[in-house]
Amino acid sequence: MKKYLVEFIGTFFLVFTIGMVVIDPGAGALAPLAIGSALMIMVYAGGHVSGGHYNPAVTLAVWLRGRCPVADVPGYIGAQIAAGIVAAMTVLALKNNPTLTPNEIKAVPALIAEFLGTFALAYVVLNVATAKGTAGNSNYGLAIGFTVMTMAFALGGISGGAFNPAVAVGLTVMHLANTSNLWIYLVANFAAGALAAVTFKFVNPDDK
């Protein structure tokens, strides 16, 4: 139960920060720095309790890599999605229910963008937070959070830059993404998480 609460709190602040800094007036060009830092601080705060996933695609990747019990997976993903929805509603209330029109995105480039960004994220998570070769480091949160920052700078204009199904749900609730595009995020994010787990095992063969 405490793990699910930590996943809820972390995902809440991630999605909440995204909404607050993206919806005008927000943080402008600096939004990716705020978003990546929101993830970083929550990974540092909650990693020792829940692993600090805050992302169903990361939970999938960590489970496939063998560092998340299957019994935890539904609770983790449920807490993450619920947090994304609650955060989105909190943002809308604080921003006075703005009328927003999602940016148009094209399916194929968005699929590629979400796949690449989520692959980078899950690949970094597995290597800095679950590998024997990097055990005990103090940089895992910086590496994970700034991966989202980097990918948001690189790919935000193509796909909206979710790299996370719970974020995609939050973006949809805030009308920053179209409901009809939700499948793009789900397909690309989970596929990338799975490939990252396979890649991790290949490059860390002695790390069971």
Round the CA-based radius of gyration of the chain to a whole number and report it.
16
Contacts of 164 (CB under 8 A, 6+ apart): 14, 54, 55, 56, 57, 58, 118, 121, 185, 189
**Which amino acid does the sequence have at 24?**
D
Pick 143 or 186: Cβ nearer a copy of itself:
143
Nearest residue (CB) to a copy of itself, 74 versus 106: 106
Q: Which of 86, 142, 187, 195 binds a copy of itself (CB under 8 A)?
A: 142
Which CB atom, from 157 or from 179, has the smaller least distance to a copy of itself? 157
Stretch that binds a copy of itself, among 54-62, 69-77, 154-162, 177-185 (CB under 8 A): 154-162
Strand segments (E) across 3-62: none
Q: Does 208 help bind a copy of itself (rule: CB under 8 A)?
A: no
Give start and end residues of each alpha helix (H) in 51-181: 56-65, 73-94, 107-129, 140-159, 165-173
Q: Which of residues 131 and 186 has its CB atom nearest to a copy of itself in the complex?
A: 131
Distance of CA 153 to the CA centre of its chain: 15
Q: What backbone phi and psi angles, to 5 degrees, belong to 40?
A: -55, -50
Least gap, CB of 145 to a copy of itself (angstroms): 8
Task: Give contact residues for a copy of itself (rule: CB under 8 A).
Answer: 2, 5-6, 9, 13, 16-17, 20-21, 25-34, 37-38, 40-42, 44-49, 90, 94, 109, 112-113, 116, 120, 123-124, 127-128, 131, 133-134, 137-143, 146-147, 149-150, 153-155, 157-158, 199, 202-205
